[in-house]
Amino acid sequence: MIPMTYSAEVAQARSAGTAIVALESTIITHGMPFPQNVETARLVEDDIREGGATPATIAVMNGQLHIGLEPAELDALGQAQDVAKLSRADIAACIAAGKTGATTVAATMIAAHLADIHVFATGGIGGVHQGADQSFDISADLQELAQTPVTVVAAGAKAILDLPKTFEVLETLGVPVIAVGQDVIPAFWSATSDITAPLRMDTAAQIAAAQQMRGAMGIKGGQLITNPIPKEAEIPAATLAPIISQALAEADAQSISAKAVTPFLLGRIFELTDGQSLKANIALVRNNARLAAQIAIAMAA
């Protein structure tokens, strides 16, 4: 038996059969500073409600797999110290040991699928890190997209990564990468990149139909929806390039490795941009939540 706890609103949406959108919790505990992390999590949940769907923020708390957090639980998680960052490799061990952990994209997809939720919104997925030829650091998020049938709405992969290699790996793994409303893949804080999108779709209904067809055909895995940050909120890639390089050089000099790499880089880029990167991150997550609500509604119809 999996110890799963549904929030009141998620339980209600499940019995009514209405649209639900999963949200991850690593972005809260490891991706943004307090108190903006909790404020953003609330805004994102509200965006989904305003879009006509129900938010289900996923986390492991004291050995319970929470599908939807009550407001006080969200507050507690947002301020908790030393929370584990859970992926496919360690989510089961965390639950079995009665501990607390935040779910990455990979772990959130696993939990969403267990709860029969088909759509999930986040900021940016993990991917192939710069220097992966030496470090072999490739996020488990990519493998998860290849095997778990959840549509993930993100602003692409985080721009701290080696984006061309990340999208090559996704192609190899058979993951559909769909750009929304444009022909190139967005680059997280920037709306565009020079990488041509393998697929383009312009409506939530097309995205929902594509996932449902994969399911009907018995093709396993999810879809990555790359939704560009709104133009007025973006930081141009040229502005960010030297900042990302500096953060990467510092991570290297300090021998930051494994699960610490992404939180370190996001934290340094926040400092080096005087908080502008966080503003953009908040804008893109909210934009993704709004689209995810539309997709979930199209799938529930």
Q: Clarify whether 158 is annotated catalytic.
A: yes
Pick the binder of ligand PSU from 166, 190, 277, 281 (CB under 6 A): 281
286 near ligand PSU, judged by CB under 6 A: no
- Check binding of 31 to ligand PSU (CB under 6 A): yes
> Is 175 within 8 Å of 145 (Cβ atoms)?
yes
Contact 293, 52 (CB under 8 A): yes
Question: Is 250 known to be catalytic?
Answer: no
The count of C-alpha atoms lying within 13 angstroms of the C-alpha of 136, restricted to the half-sphere facing its C-beta, is 0
Going by C-beta distance under 8 Å and a sequence separation of 6 or more, which residues neighbour residue 37? 27, 28, 29, 31, 78
Residue 205 or 260: the one with the smaller Cβ distance to Mn ion is 260
The one-character DSSP state at 228 is P
Element (H, E) at 284: helix 276-300
190 is a site residue for ligand PSU (CB under 6 A)? no
Least distance to ligand PSU, CB of residue 159, Å: 11
Partnered with residue 154 across adjacent β-strands are 226
Report the alpha-carbon distance of residue 172 to residue 33 in Å, rounded: 35
Considering only residues 117 to 146 of the shown chain, the ones binding Mn ion according to CB under 5 A are 137
Residue among 88 and 99 whose Cβ is closer to ligand PSU: 88
Query: Which residue carries 């919790």 as its tokens?
Result: 25
> How many residues of this chain interact with ligand PSU, rule: CB under 6 A?
18
Please select the residue that binds ligand PSU; options are 226, 262, 287, 294, rule is CB under 6 A: 262
Q: Could you give the residue ranges of the DSSP H alpha helices within 104-231?
A: 105-114, 132-135, 140-147, 163-173, 204-217
Q: Which residues within the stretch 82-121 sit at the binding site for ligand PSU (CB under 6 A)?
A: 104-105
Among 20, 22, 27, 83, binds ligand PSU (CB under 6 A): 27
Residues contributing to the site for Mn ion (CB under 5 A): 137
Residues designated as active site: 24, 158
Residues contributing to the site for ligand PSU (CB under 6 A): 24, 26-27, 30-31, 104-105, 122-124, 126, 139, 141, 259, 262, 266, 281, 285
